[in-house]
Structure 1
Amino acid sequence: MTKRQIPLLGCAVLLAASGLGLTAPAASAATTLHVAPGDSIQAAVDAAKPGDTVRIAPGTYRESVRITTSGITLRGAGEATKLLPAPGAPTKTGKAAADSCAAAGNGICVQGTEAEPVEGVTLRSLSLSGYAKSGVWALWTDRLAVRQVSSDDNGTWGIAQERSTRSDLSGNSVSGNGDAGIFVANTVTEEAGATDTLGTRVRGNDMSGNRIGATVRRVRNLTVEDNHITDNCAGLFLVGDESKPRAGALTVRDNRIVANNRSCPATARLPRIQGAGIVLTGTEDTLVESNTIWNNVGDSPFSGGVVLFKSVVGVPGTGNVVRGNVVLGNGSADLANRDTAGTGNRFDANVCNVSEPAGLC
């Protein structure tokens, strides 16, 4: 059974003397709810109030968890706390409905609405794998923190969010996911202008063995920094199109993007992907600086260290700056500007050997 542990409260003290008083108002203290193997994580989450922490002991838990309450923390014991799909849940090869977290094939869902986003939720120190869609999926959240979470071998995404702002996705490990290890987007259900994330950060994550290490799609004001991205078909995709506002105002810095040389087949939207470090398609005013981009080699249209490419709907990129990067050993080029209609795009002070066209190094 889920156990509820309430820490000792401080006493309320009233001092009164000849017109002078000091009052310490009683405050509702945060509560820790403990979950052990055999207990329901969802039951503890449903009982939690803003400010509470749900602590999950080491063990294996076969369930999905839906969070709709602001200000709660879900914390495990690192890799020893494992979440797997419940028996009978959609698998990576099964068909997923969209009416609940489990039925949609997700592991943990943090779900608000446009009128009432879920705010200040933290997911920390746990492991998810084998879900049909995403290990972690968030919609309409603000200040979501996902830290030290492993999300591996899921059908689509490791950690994904839509319509969310001011997120901190830090120190996570995502591997073996069917699409992107980390996916940040405006929405995947309709055509719409870019979401202003108000400063979402994707930092210090390890991304390997996915189709794409991270995809940043149709958003603005986001930073991708200090990540290690290797052994994917592509390291990082920054995606925009003709929607307004345009995707852009992105910063990509201090990442290590090495040997993303797996080959992934074409899809309805994209040709085959292989050997791509950083790809910018249809973005504006994006800064790519101080990254180490080595040995990304392939023969797909996206192959190369840093590649500018027109969007899938043909919209050129504008005002993007690629500067101060070490880009070596990539093929067919270290730097490639294949967005021939783009304007105001610059390559400055990079260390590289081969560019397309010549003269960018």
Structure 2
Amino acid sequence: MKAALVIFAFVVPAQAAVLEVGSGTAFSLPSAAIAAAKPGDTVHIAAGSYRDCAAWTVDDLTIEGENGTVLREAICQGAGIFVVNAPNAIIRNISFEGASIAEGNGSGIRANGQRLLVEHCSFRNNQDGILTANNGGAELIVRDSRFEKNGACLPNKGCAHGIYAGVITRLRVETSHFRDAVAGHYIKSRARRTEVIGNRIEDGDSGRSSYLIDLPNGGALEMTGNTLQKGPRTENPTAAVILGEEGDKRPAGPVTISDNIFRNDGPPTIFVRNDAKSPALLSGNKITGKVRLLVGRGAVD
């Protein structure tokens, strides 16, 4: 946690301004305020539904909404509702809804920079909730956010997911809620290190997810204190958590999976399938339903 705080302790210029968006303010649309912002500024978006999108390169912006701030359906740069091309950004208290493009990976947020913090946000009915570029030095932290009815799998286009982290240094997802996937995985990560801490990830009765968590190229994983459920309508009953099934391309790192609660309400499944070179160390997990705890390298304490 301390590392995350250091990462996002941006240097804010003394002249930093707050740009207000909403009825009776200088800016009627978020995109207009973001276009006018300077490094270190904050864009504050009043509650309301905005059919708008924005892409920016200005560094160290904070984009924040209120309860009831919704950006929906509009797509910038053929990619997403927010396209973050700046090195550093903070986004909080905004709902992103209905991001869809023909390629099948329209995103609530497309993260192309180095460091992005997303907190207290909601992602609903998007193809990808958040999608990152392949950027080896980048970090994405998602905190206290909600992902519902995201995901897509289109013929010859691949699949989109709740969160899809490309080849980055670190993905951290904490105290967030994922449910009712339309398709794909709730979290897919090609990061060197993935941290999944204290989340609730569940299909419910109607979610059609494939895996709950997928690290297709292996890497380090810290997964602790989560509550997980695989439902009766899952499109892939084989496993809940899987590592290395597309080739073990990330550097080997510790894989610790501890103190999670997992319930399987669908066909028999595997809690953790590990095809990566790093052994998975499982401890203190509480499992119910027809579940095999571990297949592949590792040990259960």
TM-score range, shorter chain: 0.7 to 0.9
Per-residue deviation, 1:103: 4.5
Q: Partners in 2 of 1:262 and 1:139 — Cα distance?
A: 33
The residue number in structure 1 matching 2:280 is 320
Deviations 1:76-98 (A, max 9, x none): 113x1111124xxxxxxxxxxxx
* Aligned-CA RMSD value: 2.2
| The one of 61, 68, 73 aligned to 1:72 | 61
1:307 aligns to 2:273 (yes or no): yes
Q: CA deviation at 1:229?
A: 0.2
Quick one: which of 122, 129, 134 aligns to 1:150?
122
Query: Which secondary structure does the structure 2 equivalent of 1:42 belong to?
Result: helix
* Contact 1:67–1:109 under 8 Å retained in 2: yes
Question: Which residue is equivalent to 1:262?
Answer: 233
Deviation at 1:291, TM superposition (A): 1.0
Residue 184 of structure 2 is aligned to residue 217 of structure 1: no
Q: 2:145 aligns with which of 172, 187, 208?
A: 172
- Whether 1:297 aligns to 2:266 is yes
- Normalization by structure 2: what TM-score? 0.78
**Which sections of structure 1, spanning at least 5 residues, go unmatched?**
1-26, 87-100, 113-117, 187-194, 241-246, 265-272, 311-315, 340-344, 350-361
Residue in 1 that maps onto 2:16? 30
**CA offsets 1:287-328 (integer angstroms, 9 cap, x no match):** 2111111125326xxx332233x4xxxxx5432222221122
Residues 233, 266 of structure 2: 8 Å contact kept:
no
Pick from 348, 353, 358 the counterpart of residue 300 of structure 2: 348
Q: Tell me how far apart the structure 2 counterparts of residues 149 and 103 of structure 1 sit (CA, whole Å).
A: 22
Partner Cα distance (2:46, 2:179) in 1: 27
Q: 2:107 aligns with which of 115, 131, 134?
A: 134
Structure-2 residue corresponding to 1:111: 85
Tell me the equivalent position of 2:6: none
Matches within 5 A, 1:276-287: 276-282=239-245, 284=252, 285-287=254-256
Aligned to 1:334: 292
CA contact (8 A) 1:296 1:305 kept: no
2: distance between equivalents of 1:60 and 1:176? 19
Q: Which residue of 1 aligns with 2:70?
A: 82
> Contact 1:124–1:149 at 8 Å: present in 2 too?
yes
Q: How many residues align?
A: 259
Q: Structure 1 pair 252/167, CA: closer, same or farther in 2 (3 Å)?
A: same
Higher-RCO chain (CA-CA 8 Å, sequence separation at least 6): 2
TM-score normalised by length of structure 1: 0.66
Aligned mates of 1:275, 1:205 — CA distance in 2: 24
Residue 229 of structure 1 corresponds to 201
The answer on whether the counterparts of 2:91 and 2:119 sit within 8 Å (CA) in structure 1 is: yes
Q: % of aligned pairs identical?
A: 25
